[in-house]
Structure 1
């Protein structure tokens, strides 16, 4: 049985709409706006270590499972904020 006190960490999703890719072809692109083909490439080659790798893997799961609608309110809330 799942622990009822365990809640999803919404800050992970918020970071996807605020943080930008720090390197590569899509440098300065918001993580939530990375094309699925780029995320698929990382999935096949291996995500980078650490927090960025976790964020990219999360974004890959969101996009490949049709869950992008979860980010819409967060993107709206983020408005013009830049990270």
Structure 2
């Protein structure tokens, strides 16, 4: 993981699916857990979703708050 990945979580939108056009940082926990069970997409999106899942699962979403204020 790179520090830039955390910035992408608060700026990049989900490109498809039920939560299309929602910030990755705002995706609900059950949706992220579904990806964790079924498999994350390939590439950068999958890596970012996996990071967001770990943050959500470990109750660390608040770590993104300072980055939200920067953008």
| TM-score category of the 2 structures, normalised to the smaller one | over 0.9
Q: Which runs of 5+ in 2 are unaligned?
A: none
C-alpha deviation, 1:13, in angstroms: 0.2
Asked if 1:61 is matched to 2:54, the reply is yes
What is residue 4 of structure 1 aligned with on the other side?
none
Please report the TM-score for the alignment, with normalisation by the length of structure 1.
Answer: 0.82
Give the alignment's TM-score, normalised by structure 2.
0.96
Structure with the higher helix share, 1 or 2 = 2
Aligned length: 71
Deviations 1:34-58 (A, max 9, x none): 0000000101100000000000000
RMSD over aligned Cα atoms: 0.9
| CA distances 1:2-35 after superposition (whole Å, capped 9, x unpaired) | xxxxxx7221100000000000000000000000
Task: Kindly name which structure, 1 or 2, has the bigger radius of gyration based on alpha carbons.
Answer: 1
Structure 1: runs of 5 or more not aligned? 1-7, 79-83
